[in-house]
A and B are shown apart, each in its own frame.
Chain A
Amino acid sequence: MNYTNVSLIVNGCLKLDRCLRKELCVSYSRWKTIKPWSAGIRCFRSYQYSRQGYSDDVNVIMSPEEVTNILRKVEFTQDISQDAVKYYENNQLEANNPIEDTRVEAKCKLTQGILFGVFDGHGGPECAQVVAKRAMSYIAASLLPPHIVKLLMNGSLNLSQILEMYNVKGEFVPELQQLYHESFQKYLAELSETHNKNCSIADRIESSLLRLDFDMSHEALSPFEGFGRFNERTLSVALSGAVACVAYVNGPNLHIANIGDCAAVLGQVTEDDEWCFTKITKDHSTANIQEIKRIWDEHPTMERNAIIRSNRLLGILAPLRSLGDFRLKWPVNVLKALSEVYQNVMPSNYHTPPYLTAKPEMFTHRLAPKDKFLIIGSDGLWDTMSPLKAVKLVGEHMKGKMVLNTQIPEKDMTLGDINDLLINRKKTLRNKPKDSNSATHLIRHAVGGIEDHISVARQLSLPLGSCSREVRDDITVTVIFFDSEYLRQCPA
């Protein structure tokens, strides 16, 4: 049997169940050396630097510069200045090796909207990466009027003419690229015919994501159905999974599609100049009773005890919705056929699939001038801090940057006013952000804060993978800053 795939699947299970994973840490460590996935698809970051201290058996605490270098390695800021979006900042910190989180941002050139996505993969990074790459074009296409879709289909319009991706890393291997292109063309063809003008933006995003999930399933199953064997590449995508949170900002409207346990939190300022937050998304986890009810209702009552076990779906998966993870979606016969090749694919108590859905929960919010920014983060972030803390951190950070950049006017200011300004500034200077990027600022706080260098350094010196995964999850943060001036002037 193909060892790679065993490892993949075993590892997939491990990812899903931490207790098991801990025991099998050793076999996991082998995984690092065998990469079934094309390395070209993403940049693997190397932290030889930080781990060196351990390999030499010398425990050296990293210097503040080294910590900062690690924290800032992939930080990114993009100026947008289009309608409501001023700019966004994002950053990632891995715990898994390679990281299983993915982020993506893109501008829809024809529909004047900006897309932001955060994907938290599990059971391997493959699904999250594929979804991240493809979701943007699926959503962008779904939002287009039929005649443009046609142009896109027949090649008179290039995909890059409707979609501008930011901070892109890596490409698919050609084989997959071809496969995905075909699926996308098929989708376009369907879109051009069934396009319904009355369909809302939220509906379109929802259907496009469901379509993407369906395509992934189809791509994995079609070789099996055609030739009775599996394509390892598409299968690894289908067997891993990803939760997603995608935001689409169009004029003053914010649409969010949420699948799973990523979260989007809106940072707002009250009339008293205090920071407060609105959590827009709802987590699809066992903490959400509605979700549990939904699942119970979809299955026979007798299965109730088996469906949610130890806070996981079928005792396997923590999020209750996700893309991929077809082990929990495919019909029993498909999994049976699969388990002839790969053992342990079939979950126990698997009777009335699908147990899992990729149907996103849609939220629409009209942005107001008090809405200053939106934080989209993977659960790695929200495990370490409350939404309020995150909003306060970003808010103070933003204000700090604002105050620090204020010039004291030479003329016509009273000394009292200047004093107030300076006192204010001193306050913000005290927690003066080390990092100009607010996402980095959040991540630094997530791993220990700005005061406690030692604990941050300790966390970051842990060997990536098994050890670091024990203390934290992959963290991905995107912070989108809104233009209050635009929102103030925006007609109702």
Chain B
Amino acid sequence: MLNSFKRSAYQCTGSLVRSISNINNLDQKEELSNCLNALPSKAKVVICGGGVMGAAVAYHLSKRNWGGETVVIEKESVGAGSRWHSSGLVGAFKPTLAQVKIAQSSIQLLKELESRGRETGWKQCGSLLIARTRDRMTVYRRMKSQSVSWGIPCELVNPARCQEIWPLLNVDDILGGLWIPGDGVGDPYLFCMSLMKEAVANGVGVMENCSITAVHSKNGKVSGVETTQGPIECEYFVNCAGFWARQVGQLAKPQVKVPLLPCEHYYLHTKKIENLDSMTPVLRDPDGYIYLRERDGCILAGGFEPIAKPVYEEEIETSSQRCLSEDWDHFHVLLQELLKRVPSMNQAILHKLCNGLEAFSPDCKWIVGEAPEMFNYHVAAGMKTVGISAAGGVAEATVDEIVEGYTKYDMYELDISRFLGLHNNKRFLRDRVKEAPGIHYGLSYPFYEFETGRNLRLSPIYPTLRDKGAVFGQVMGYERPTWFEPVEKEAEKPRPFKIAHTKTFGKPHWFETVQREYWACREAIGLADYSSFTKIDLQSQGTEVVDLLQYLCSNNVDVPVGSIIHTGMQNERGGYENDCSLARISENHYMMIAPTIQQTRCKVWIRRHLPTNGSVTLSDVTSLYTAICILGPFTRNLLSELTDTDLSPSNFPFFTFKELDVGLANGVRAMNLTHTGELGYVLYIPNEFALHVYNRLTKEGEKYGITHVGYYAARSLRVEKFFAFWGQDLDTMTTPLECGRTWRVKFDKDIPFIGRDALLSQRERGIHRQYVQLLLTDHEHELDLWSWGGEPIYRDGNYCGQTTTTSYGFTFKKQVCLGFVQNLDKDGVPQKVTNDYVLSGHYEIDIAGIRYAAKVNLHSPHLPTKYPDKERDVYQATRRLHDPQQFLGRHYQP
């Protein structure tokens, strides 16, 4: 079937290929007809940028009949960028679901336009990925197994077959490859022009030679745009300025931060090569950082070098300035790999080496979504050279967000709210962007860590932790200890900063270290630094803050002062916008603890719903407190030694809050929970007391065997206890009903919360996916490859879902996977999922092509322990009495 499909694609593109014979056709450009002569005074949407991204957004808006109210503003002319400076590669395989969906949508759009006779240069020639190393081959095996979830046909191939697909290839050092027949190439310029023509035909106005000079806002919403050709009133603004998105962001009032910095990026064009098949597949050799494709009988090659060359000082104003003179020495790294991979290219004659600037974001991911600084200001930028793969899908998502208010799939990892102000610091960008392009072809090991832009946000106890052996991972710029290496007493101080690299798909080198820390938490005392958590204070004069939170949260927040409630903040569809703990400090004062990665995002969500009269104040106190968590059975004994407050369960029960004096310090906000399921406390300590409290804890804790523990140990605890985390398990598309948290949703509150209707109807209809815990029963953790998230789950041999987070369970002595299972019918349409359905199946998890049998859990398991925890059981019982129905049948999580 695939072959016949390939043949038909060949037939339909054959005529196009023949018609383009002159290799310099890339210099040819046409002008877009029917452009505007003058700007309208009013429009609904203003799009900045007439590149492929802007064109795609205009096209999708026009498809929703918004064409007549949409204006595209282009500084130069539509499709102004050099046609020599693009590769046109279209690949469906991306690292995550959202990115895959986007790429698939783009491919769909390319095919659609082509079928309607619009030129896009689309050619389904397939793509071949080759591996030089075993780890790369593992990546391909993982991709092959994931392809089932994502619906991408692909095939693992041996070196001989690689050479068959790509005859010029040198396969001496190749271990194998992955052949993706559905991939292809397109021409960004043709694609852009075709989209724009369609858009113009559907009423979109295009204004060329016009620059944005300011974007104004009223009440935090976009109100209008100032241009060199006059002002326009508008409701929505879409920043599709691509390369210039950062500068355009700065024109907004207030400034919108789009963290991007340009790097040099190279495209090598050869002269005509005899007998080069026009359907030669795209070749990607990520271990050599390179790709090659056929273009008009020539080879077009390029790559993503491991150390890029950012452009920092020069301000680039026009498209022609984006084309720099070439630095052959810099390109040489790639040239050598190209010649090694395709030795016959030694005889190929150089036509052109093009050095174009491309903007990269600090994490080498696209930047999409509504800006946190201004409502209705949307960004679609940072396409990192693969604009053609991204444009169609990103535009569709952006238009969904504008027209419907939300996207079809969760876009958190691409959302612009994943950044903080620090990410937009130009010096930070300059450092970071050096390694960003390299990630594109880098090996996607678990827990990827960047080398640059480190040691940025540090907790007051950071130097001490570092000297105690902490190895750090970075999250939102915060250095968080991931594990603690054993350190000799006389070790040199200060100990050098160490980055937590994993760099394996099997049993990681930190296994024994994390195991030791895990058992300290379960049988002695562990001390962890939670300082990176987002901490927000919400308060009001009257009860406004309670009303606001009742409206935002699905749980009942009107609890006695001193209580802590764990609650989701749902969107209209019932999905999690945020998942947080709220401590009621006083009648009208809450402290919200949210995941680290929510720091920008949750504030935007709350601000969107804040009373306009300013009666509720929101203040981000993340930087004011150091959070030290002590976990383990003896934590109460330890803390009792340091405070005069009675810590007995009757006075300070589980899941409550107290302001304590600890050591000689005061004002420590102690919360009786640990976010891991272990007994313990999180102490939110005013920064200046942090070191004091820390010193007292470690000193007094010595006799209990207090041990520093890192993030991985805490993570292992919570995965084993079946705790879901936002951003890893929960997202904007997941409802509490799907993840066993119905008991935390209070449908009968006086104030109906956001998403209540959606959840009620879901309760009626039943859920279509269920969050489960799977324990791998025949997995040998020493030898087998580990699951790291994203593995497909099979039920009775049929694909039924994917894992989200995974860990080794040190108590179970098994791999533990959390994930969602679905009930897919023959056509792949999800059906209702019931407990019976979940529990009746036989489960397997596919790790890089090998399926491991798994035992399924719907509820948090009861872990055997040396130190049974009576108080907590009592506490749990009290809650059940208090709220019997909701608690039944769902795993324990207060």
- Cα-based distance from A422 to B328 in the complex (angstroms): 8
Residues 343-368 of A, flagged 1 when their CB comes within 8 A of B and 0 if not, give 00000000000000000000000000
- Cα-based distance from A44 to B335 in the complex (angstroms): 53
- Tell me whether A418 and B350 are in contact (CB under 8 A): yes
Residue of B nearest to A418 (CB): B350
Residue of A nearest to B332 (CB): A422
Residue of A nearest to B325 (CB): A407
If over half of B's interface residues share one DSSP class (helix, strand or loop), that class is named, otherwise mixed; here it is helix
Instruction: Give 9 A-B pairs besides A418-B335, A419-B346, A429-B329 with Cβ atoms closer than 8 angstroms.
Output: A410-B350, A412-B349, A413-B350, A416-B345, A416-B347, A418-B328, A422-B335, A425-B329, A426-B329
Q: Give chain B residues whose Cβ lies under 8 Å from the Cβ of A423.
A: 332
Q: Give chain A residues whose Cβ lies under 8 Å from the Cβ of B352.
A: 410
Partner of A414, one of B332, B350, B353: B350
Q: Is B770 an interface residue (CB 8 A)?
A: no
Q: Is B642 an interface residue (CB 8 A)?
A: no
Q: Give chain B residues whose Cβ lies under 8 Å from the Cβ of A429.
A: 329
B268 to chain A, nearest CB (A): 8
Q: Give chain A residues whose Cβ lies under 8 Å from the Cβ of B336.
A: 419
Q: Give chain B residues whose Cβ lies under 8 Å from the Cβ of A422.
A: 328-329, 332, 335
Question: Which residues in window 321-349 of B have CB below 8 A to A?
Answer: 328-329, 332, 335-336, 338-339, 345-349
Partner of B349, one of A408, A414, A425: A414
Residues 411-434 of A, flagged 1 when their CB comes within 8 A of B and 0 if not, give 111111011001101100100000
- Tell me whether A426 and B332 are in contact (CB under 8 A): yes
- Cα-based distance from A415 to B351 in the complex (angstroms): 10
The 5 closest A-B pairs by CB, nearest first: A416-B346, A422-B332, A408-B328, A415-B348, A413-B350
- Cα-based distance from A241 to B348 in the complex (angstroms): 65
- Cα-based distance from A414 to B335 in the complex (angstroms): 12
A456 to chain B, nearest CB (A): 27
Residues 66-105 of A, flagged 1 when their CB comes within 8 A of B and 0 if not, give 0000000000000000000000000000000000000000
A179 to chain B, nearest CB (A): 59
Q: Is B270 an interface residue (CB 8 A)?
A: yes
Residues 292-330 of B, flagged 1 when their CB comes within 8 A of A and 0 if not, give 000000000000000000000000000000000000110
| Residues of chain A having any CB pair with chain B under 8 Å | 408, 410-416, 418-419, 422-423, 425-426, 429
Q: Give chain B residues whose Cβ lies under 8 Å from the Cβ of A414.
A: 346-350
Q: Give chain A residues whose Cβ lies under 8 Å from the Cβ of B335.
A: 415, 418-419, 422
B271 to chain A, nearest CB (A): 8
How many chain B residues have a CB neighbour from A under 8 Å? Answer: 18
Q: Which of B328, B336, B352 has most A Cβ within 10 Å? A: B328
Q: Give chain B residues whose Cβ lies under 8 Å from the Cβ of A408.
A: 328
A403 to chain B, nearest CB (A): 11
- Cα-based distance from A410 to B352 in the complex (angstroms): 6
- Cα-based distance from A408 to B351 in the complex (angstroms): 12
- Cα-based distance from A419 to B347 in the complex (angstroms): 11
Q: Which of A408, A418, A426 has most B Cβ within 10 Å? A: A418
- Cα-based distance from A406 to B268 in the complex (angstroms): 20
Q: Give chain A residues whose Cβ lies under 8 Å from the Cβ of B350.
A: 410-415, 418
B170 to chain A, nearest CB (A): 14
- Tell me whether A415 and B270 are in contact (CB under 8 A): yes
- Cα-based distance from A411 to B348 in the complex (angstroms): 11
- Cα-based distance from A423 to B338 in the complex (angstroms): 14
- Cα-based distance from A418 to B352 in the complex (angstroms): 12
Q: Which of A413, A415, A422 has most B Cβ within 10 Å? A: A415
- Please list 10 pairs of residues, one from A and one from B, whose beta carbons are closer than 8 Å in the complex, sorted by A's number: A411-B351, A415-B268, A415-B346, A415-B348, A416-B339, A416-B345, A418-B350, A419-B332, A426-B332, A429-B329
- Tell me whether B329 and A413 are in contact (CB under 8 A): no
Q: Give chain B residues whose Cβ lies under 8 Å from the Cβ of A426.
A: 329, 332
- Cα-based distance from A408 to B352 in the complex (angstroms): 11
- Tell me whether A413 and B332 are in contact (CB under 8 A): no
Q: Give chain B residues whose Cβ lies under 8 Å from the Cβ of A425.
A: 329
Q: Give chain B residues whose Cβ lies under 8 Å from the Cβ of A413.
A: 349-350
Residues 342-366 of B, flagged 1 when their CB comes within 8 A of A and 0 if not, give 0001111111110000000000000
- Cα-based distance from A413 to B352 in the complex (angstroms): 10
A479 to chain B, nearest CB (A): 27
- Cα-based distance from A429 to B270 in the complex (angstroms): 27
B236 to chain A, nearest CB (A): 45
A2 to chain B, nearest CB (A): 63
B602 to chain A, nearest CB (A): 49
Residue of A nearest to B271 (CB): A412
Please judge, given known A-B contacts A410-B350, A410-B352, whether A415 and B329 are in contact too, CB under 8 Å.
no
- Cα-based distance from A488 to B123 in the complex (angstroms): 57
Q: Which of B349, B351, B352, B353 has most A Cβ within 10 Å? A: B349
- Cα-based distance from A408 to B353 in the complex (angstroms): 10
Q: Give chain A residues whose Cβ lies under 8 Å from the Cβ of B338.
A: 415
A418 to chain B, nearest CB (A): 6
B85 to chain A, nearest CB (A): 16
- Cα-based distance from A415 to B269 in the complex (angstroms): 10
Q: Give chain A residues whose Cβ lies under 8 Å from the Cβ of B328.
A: 408, 418, 422
- Cα-based distance from A360 to B348 in the complex (angstroms): 60
B530 to chain A, nearest CB (A): 44
B653 to chain A, nearest CB (A): 64
Residue of A nearest to B338 (CB): A415
B301 to chain A, nearest CB (A): 9
Residues 261-278 of B, flagged 1 when their CB comes within 8 A of A and 0 if not, give 000000010100000000
Q: Give chain A residues whose Cβ lies under 8 Å from the Cβ of B339.
A: 415-416, 419
Q: Give chain B residues whose Cβ lies under 8 Å from the Cβ of A416.
A: 339, 345-347
Residue of A nearest to B352 (CB): A410
A152 to chain B, nearest CB (A): 55
Q: Give chain A residues whose Cβ lies under 8 Å from the Cβ of B346.
A: 414-416, 419
- Cα-based distance from A410 to B336 in the complex (angstroms): 18
Residue of B nearest to A412 (CB): B349
Residue of A nearest to B270 (CB): A415
- Tell me whether A415 and B332 are in contact (CB under 8 A): no
- Cα-based distance from A429 to B328 in the complex (angstroms): 13
B535 to chain A, nearest CB (A): 45
Residue of B nearest to A406 (CB): B328
B766 to chain A, nearest CB (A): 62
Residues 419-441 of B, flagged 1 when their CB comes within 8 A of A and 0 if not, give 00000000000000000000000
A241 to chain B, nearest CB (A): 51
Question: Which residues in window 24-49 of B have CB below 8 A to A?
Answer: none
B879 to chain A, nearest CB (A): 68
Q: Give chain B residues whose Cβ lies under 8 Å from the Cβ of A410.
A: 350, 352-353
- Cα-based distance from A419 to B332 in the complex (angstroms): 7
Residue of B nearest to A409 (CB): B350
Residues 859-889 of B, flagged 1 when their CB comes within 8 A of A and 0 if not, give 0000000000000000000000000000000
B326 to chain A, nearest CB (A): 8
A209 to chain B, nearest CB (A): 50
- Cα-based distance from A411 to B339 in the complex (angstroms): 18
Q: Give chain B residues whose Cβ lies under 8 Å from the Cβ of A411.
A: 350-351
- Cα-based distance from A408 to B329 in the complex (angstroms): 10
Q: Give chain A residues whose Cβ lies under 8 Å from the Cβ of B351.
A: 411
- Cα-based distance from A422 to B346 in the complex (angstroms): 13
- Cα-based distance from A255 to B339 in the complex (angstroms): 51
- Cα-based distance from A425 to B336 in the complex (angstroms): 14
Residue of B nearest to A404 (CB): B329
Question: Which residues in window 364-409 of B have CB below 8 A to A?
Answer: none
- Cα-based distance from A414 to B332 in the complex (angstroms): 14
B800 to chain A, nearest CB (A): 50
- Cα-based distance from A412 to B271 in the complex (angstroms): 9
- Cα-based distance from A425 to B350 in the complex (angstroms): 18
Residue of B nearest to A407 (CB): B328
B745 to chain A, nearest CB (A): 63
Q: Which of B335, B338, B349, B350 has most A Cβ within 10 Å? A: B350
- Cα-based distance from A416 to B350 in the complex (angstroms): 10
- Cα-based distance from A411 to B23 in the complex (angstroms): 14
- Cα-based distance from A456 to B511 in the complex (angstroms): 48
Q: Give chain A residues whose Cβ lies under 8 Å from the Cβ of B349.
A: 412-415
Q: Give chain A residues whose Cβ lies under 8 Å from the Cβ of B332.
A: 419, 422-423, 426
